[in-house]
Amino acid sequence: MKIGFVVPMGEDPALGQPAPYRRLRDLALRAEGAGFDSVWVYDHLLYRFPDHPPAGIWECWSVLTGLAEATERVELGTIVLAAPWRNPALLAKMAITVDEISGGRLILGLGAGWHQPEFDAFGYPFDHRVGRFEEAMQVIGPLLREGKVDFHGKYVSAPDCEMRPPSSRSGARASIPILIASRGPRMLRLTVEHADLWNTAWFGPVEASAASRAEFDAACAVAGRDPATLGVTVGVNVAAPGDQPDPDANPGRVLAGTPEEIAAGLRAYADAGVAHVICGALSDPSRDYAASVLDHLAEAIALYQAPAKAT
């Protein structure tokens, strides 16, 4: 099972702004050096929640492009890009370009978006999000996998579109893997139809993800797709050492404890057939908290990997 780390791109309360890119870069390089398999960025434009001041965030794809050049080994993923914010044919072009910069390490994570205030503030329509997402996938998938598409839809079009230059990937890794974050019947159906990887989030111990896994298996059965052909990825919220959980929070949503306990939690996901655990430090948006979680996870990863190394 692969283990990834999410870089905190949102506003750091201690700074009054998001952490500078150089600090995000340092975190990504620390994750790479610590043995993580992947580094992930997330896609928002503006946070506006009731009874909270607005908060900012860096633009996802720009940060990802920088990390593609800065890192050497880790896979790089988006968890997840809001498909309605970018023309789908151009997004496929962007993906192929960043994959080239990274040397073939991109995982293209996509979703329909959910936070309406940022749609409104940046002028993107919030209606028919699943319908718009479905059309986007009918453009992105063929362009990444076959290099061309001729699509005319209600919301988007890509008439006689072609990727030149095409992806430089070859062999068993011939196309950029598409990850879709989804829940609910319609989005799960689109995941089964179009994705290489499925993501659900955010959980702690593996038991919390059981209901989502059951819905996923049911969607595969309806579509006649073998679940083994679609990699399962899970977003896992990890607490820093000594972190006191919020008494009002659901303890099943946080993986906490000693490095040994965290390693046992990771093994439980592996035993459940999860292909990729994507770890985030969601309890605190600051860069320092994320660094503490990263170091804690690095100890757990060493313990998690130890039995495999011994054999």
Where b means 16+ CB within 10 Å and e means fewer, 141-164 reads bbbbbebebebeeeebbbeebebe
Give per-residue pLDDT as tens, 205-253.
Answer: 999 999 999 999 999 999 999 999 999 999 999 999 888 655 556 667 8
Which residues are registered as beta bridge partners of 57?
A: 10
What pLDDT does 283 receive?
Answer: 87
The pTM (predicted TM-score) of the whole model is 0.95
Q: Kindly give the residue spans of alpha helices, DSSP state H, lying in 166-207.
A: 185-194
Average pLDDT over residues 118-130: 98
Give per-residue pLDDT as tens, 57-74.
Answer: 999 999 999 999 999 999
Of 153, 49, 169, 150, the closest CA to residue 106 belongs to 169
Average pLDDT over residues 265-293: 95
Q: Which CATH architecture has domain 2-310?
A: Alpha-Beta Barrel (3.20)
What pLDDT does 246 receive?
Answer: 59
Other beta carbons within 10 Å of 218: 12
Domain ranges of the chain: 2-310
